[in-house]
Amino acid sequence: MTLTAPTAAIGLDTAAEVAAQLRVDSVRSSTSAGSGHPTSGMSAADLFAVLVTRHLRYDWDDPRSPANDHLILSKGHASPLLYALFKAVGVISDDELMHGYRRLGQRLQGHPTPALPWVDVATGSLGQGLPDGVGIALAGKYLDKLPYRVWVLCGDSELAEGSIWEALDKASYYRLANLVTLVDVNRLGQRGPTDLGWDVDAYARRAEAFGARALVVDGHDLAAVDDAMAAAQDPADERPTVILARTVKGRGFREVEDSNDWHGKPFPPDMAERAVRELGGERHLTVRGPRPTAAPIDGSRPTSDVAARPVTTEPTEPPTPARYDLGAAVPTRKAYGDALVVLGARNPRVVALDGEVSNSTYAFEFARAHPDRYFEMFIAEQQMVAAATGLAVRGYRPFASTFAAFLTRAYDFIRMGAVSGVDLCLVGSHAGVEIGPDGPSQMGLEDLAMMRAVHGSTVLYPSDATSTVALTDAMATLPGISYLRTTRGKYPVLYADGESFPVGGCKVLRSSDEDAVTLIGAGVTLHACLAAADALAGEGIRARVIDCYSVKPIDDATIADAAAATGRIVVAEDHHPEGGLGSAVKDSLIAGGRATPSLVHLAVRGMPGSGSSKELLAWAGIDADHIASAARQLVRG
């Protein structure tokens, strides 16, 4: 049986049949796979059935249509429910549901990923689907200016995550009435009751405290659910909506309803047979609800919203590309801001976000030049990366910046961005002990290792303004997660305007046939390497100096040539010894099967405190004097 409705004309009696089918197929698919979370989907089946038949405006034959609503399963472990929905709308077959779920090489993975074209973002790390949805809703209201809605199904367990409340806070600030959060309040988490259980009124007070409109319903009363979803689309209310649905885990199968014992467990075949029978047997309905329209949003332009325009100064003419005089002292963070302004003028898909430090990261320059494409996320780094992820889903190129140290808070969101396959440009400023007196809480000393470990990532660390501009431009077309590390202090411009900096390359700044040692640095330590080379030259020791601006991918060939030519390498980095530049150099040499040269790795090995940049670089043993000393010891034995 196939039903298609151009409007919400499918009755609730049919929605009830769809809900039963979703429950049955959640049971069947997880039992067939031998793993999965059927009871977590059974509680939310009525929500999904009403949504897909009567409210979700989606062209299932064209999942990339810009007019489509967006559906995010934040409680990604309930994937049997989502895949059962995909069967119900006719985009996957019963055979794929039964034989492709949780199998090697198949697209119906244990938690949803964009391997399926109807999935925007990977979920399963709880507390991330709603923050990602904020980014998609931002794009819809302020950039796409299309009337699509973002529907996010959350579990009540994940409401213990602070990222959920960051998301609602920012959704309220930006007045994202196009964002609807459905919360499946089934009372039970993985190991037992949630912290609030069925106290939906407490959840409602919290949601309202963050500026959302809260609607409390019986999640198994289809008419009540339908009314709440209709109310969530009231154009007169600019608040995001949270529908708190009181449900029963395992709903429809009395043996497991509201039981602590069946989270994440498929039913054995005999038990699954009983469940299917109690639920009324297998069904194979194909039902499609309302289709989207591409009509523009009525009323004033969304960009007139003050929240979307935190800075309103508009340039009177296109900005001049950033250029710097050789030897001029320029912070690379400043060059990043300059480059981003020009990049934004050339590419209207470039957007910027920051975590309330834009006057330090220099993202404020973009905010002044392109206020309609700048989104302030305040001190909410998880939400900043999540919003960037949602914006990337809509085809924008987000640049998100904060202090390098604070990106560690958002690491799980960065990791999941890689799983989602989105293209994100992340920028960390104020890295290393070089920042000086602020002390260790502000010093990013783990960021290179963190970002190198992300699947498919690119890690860049420019040493001067010219290379920063070139690498910022390069990031705009890189696939996956890219990271640019910038420096707080002012350092001399080393490269002439127009110099090329290909990703995966490096620059050899000093080289001769008589080189006895290679000095490798990046960022602040490159300048220390150059000073050390000058000191060594006065002693008759020739040193090759390499600017390793591309940490991942690294220039294997140039490093191998240097190792073969000099047989001695000193790597200096303003980072902990684990996982950073030194590790990248050593990994390169080992992976190439080359003879390992004599190598000294200088890094920040102690816990720093406050002090001047000069004092701290010396304390860490990564200044020019320590680099020169390490080189002398290698050369002279």
Amino acid type, 30: S
Give start-end residues of each CATH 3.40.50.970 domain in the chain: 12-279, 328-493
- pLDDT per residue as tens digits for the range 377-420: 999 999 999 999 999 999 999 999 999 999 999 999 999 999 99
User: Tokens standing for 149?
Assistant: 């809605």
Distance from C-alpha of 391 to C-alpha of 374, rounded to nearest angstrom: 11
Q: What predicted TM-score, i.e. pTM, was given to this entire model?
A: 0.94
- CA–CA separation, 575 and 448 (whole Å): 8
Q: Which of 197, 133, 209, 125 is nearest to 165 (CA)?
A: 209
Asked if 389 contacts 420 with a C-beta cutoff of 8 angstroms, the reply is yes
d(CA 603, CA 293): 57
Q: What is residue 316's predicted lDDT score, i.e. its pLDDT?
A: 52
Provide the phi-psi class of 623: left if phi over 0, else alpha when psi is between -120 and 50, else beta.
beta
Position 321 scores a pLDDT of 81
pLDDT tens for each residue of 419-474 = 999 999 999 999 999 999 999 999 999 999 999 999 999 999 999 999 999 999 99
Give me the CATH topology for the region 328-493: Rossmann fold (3.40.50)
C-beta neighbour count of 288 within 10 angstroms: 22
Would you tell me how many other CB atoms lie within 10 Å of the CB of residue 195? 11
Just give the CATH number of 507-636: 3.40.50.920
Specify which residues 153 forms β-bridges with.
Answer: 73, 182
**Catalytically annotated residue among 381, 434, 446, 573:** 381
What does the block give as tokens for 368? 């002044």
pLDDT at position 308 is 38
d(CA 525, CA 466): 17
278 is catalytic: no
Among residues of the chain, what percentage have pLDDT more than 90?
Answer: 92
Q: Which helix (H) or strand (E) holds 214?
A: strand 213-218
pLDDT reported for residue 393: 97
DSSP 293-340: --PPPPSS-GGG-GGG-S-----SSPPPPP---TT-EEEHHHHHHHHH
Q: Given pLDDT bands bounded at 50, 70 and 90, which one contains residue 1?
A: very low
Residues 6 or more apart whose Cβ sits within 8 Å of residue 83: 25, 29, 92, 97, 101, 108
Mean pLDDT value across residues 608-615: 97
pLDDT, position 595 = 65
Residues spanned by CATH 3.40.50.920 within the chain? 507-636
What is the distance between the alpha carbons of residues 78 and 64, in angstroms, rounded to a whole number? Answer: 24
Give the pLDDT confidence of 183-240 residue by residue, as tens digits.
Answer: 999 999 999 999 999 999 999 999 999 999 999 999 999 999 999 999 999 989 999 9
Percent of the chain with pLDDT over 70: 95
Fold of 12-279: Rossmann fold (3.40.50)
Given a contact cutoff of 8 angstroms between Cβ atoms, the answer to whether 387 and 377 are in contact is yes
Tens-place pLDDT, residues 263-313:
999 999 999 999 999 999 999 999 999 999 864 544 333 333 333 333 334
